[in-house]
Amino acid sequence: MPLQRLDVRGHAGPLDPVLPRPADPGRDVHDVVAAILARVRDEGDDAVRALTAELDRVDLAELRVPDAEVAAAAERVPAALREALEVAQRQIRAYHAHEGSPPGDFVDDGLRVRHLVRPVDRAGCYAPGGRARYPSTVLMCAVPARVAGVAEVVLCVPPGPDGRVDDASLAAAAIAGVDEVYAVGGAQAVAAMAYGTDTIRRVDVLVGPGNRYVAEAKRQVSGIVGVASAFAGPSEVVVVAGPTTPPSLAAVDIVVQAEHGPDGLAWLVTWTAAKAEEIEREVDRIVAASPRRADLERTLASGGYACLVDGPEQAMAVANVVAPEHLELMVDEAEGLLPLVRAAGAVFCGRWSPAALGDYAAGPNHVLPTNRTARFASALRPDDFRRHIHAVTADRSALERLGPHVVTLATTEGLPAHADAIRLRS
């Protein structure tokens, strides 16, 4: 079968428009996959068993493979396969352990692996608008991209009623070195940056927080474009308060995050019932006096919580389940609780470290994972705009040492060309 031929000789412009693009992954099966996900989410094991019977033609009484069966398999497989798996495991472990150590090539008896770090070519930043303007978000998105070495940084900001982007956001874009600014907001901005239009060329990585529509749009284009800081959506805070926590400070920090708008979360966690009552009274007072009272009341009505716990350890257990965007440890000896932190976008220790400081000028990024994605995601950072590429160089001795194991594994997996790629070099 002849290969498809492409000829770009003499082409002076960008190559992206003239080269074939991969098919949009998942478009043709979107509805089917969505139905499966919803069914498992709603029905759990029953759905998993039913779908396995329907799609894999297997009826399962138990989903988990018994531990004894897993252990016994290592004894049942052929000796050559077991040895190949063990050698591959050692190589994989050795390389990845080295990757986390100080810079330098990984060298192992005729094998050399270089670690290449390259910035993406084009980054797209989103800064929310509408209810408020966020020049700080422009800085938080664009500056790390520039630090990473990204060649082109573009920004989408929702236009105001007059069709213009506000001056504060534009000034931040100029100061941060943004190359292109577009007066486009919402899910349509995410789509434009992800897919590309006649006016807005597509980007490689898309970052920035937004409302639930923006966050969901980012989730749906993930895989077509890189999306950092998983589900950076409506704002969240958990304030852990103890017996000596100043009620006014805890209360204002709860209101700070509710101030961002609807669909957010604002939690108070404390082991002192009297302190909870004091802080709640302060929250009521601040909300009643705020010019954004109606918005605050709506947010707190749907996402405001006061949680009483047995003590600091249980408070941290609650915080880890919530996995908040912002976690404030407003207690004495706050840093002593840090070893118990398992899931949070950012942690603020003590009464002099409000999340508002991190929102603007502490240095770390305020684009943080929300909606419990802090279980697996992190704050935006320069590495989100970089690619890590490994370059492998083997000499003949290394191929002779590892090649037989590769042949064994490839044959086991039914991939004869993989095995022949080794045999032909032997």
How do residues 244-266 score in pLDDT, each as one tens digit?
999 999 999 999 877 876 778 89
Residues whose CB is less than 8 angstroms from the CB of residue 22 and which lie 6 or more positions away in sequence, other chains included: none
What's the pLDDT at 231? 63
pLDDT confidence bin for 131, thresholds 50/70/90:
low
Helical spans, DSSP H, in 30-78:
30-43, 45-51, 67-76
β-pairing, 152-156 with 180-182?
Answer: parallel
CATH 3.40.50.1580 applies to domain 236-375: no
* Average pLDDT value for the chain: 90
β-pairing, 152-156 with 122-126?
Answer: parallel
Angle between helices 293-303 and 273-289 (to 10 degrees): 150
What's the pLDDT at 213? 86
Give which of 213, 211, 207 is closest to 230, Cα–Cα: 207
What's the pLDDT at 101? 66
Q: State the catalytic residues.
A: 325-326
What's the pLDDT at 140? 92
d(CA 402, CA 337): 47
Domain locations along the chain: 31-61, 68-109+397-423, 119-229, 236-375
Q: Compute the average pLDDT of residues 217-221.
A: 89
Q: Does 225 score more than 90 pLDDT?
A: yes
Q: Higher-confidence residue: 360 or 33?
A: 360
Q: Compute the average pLDDT of residues 299-328.
A: 92
Q: Compute the average pLDDT of residues 392-409.
A: 95
Helical spans, DSSP H, in 338-395:
355-360
CATH topology assigned to domain 119-229: Rossmann fold (3.40.50)
Q: Compute the average pLDDT of residues 24-39.
A: 78
Domains 119-229 and 236-375 equal at CATH topology level: yes
pLDDT, tens digit (0-9, with 9 covering 90-100), for 174-190: 999 999 999 999 999 99
Please give the angle made by the CA atoms of 275, 280 and 282, to the nearest 5 degrees: 100
Q: Is 270 helix (H, G, I), strand (E, B) or coil?
A: strand
Q: Compute the average pLDDT of residues 416-421.
A: 95
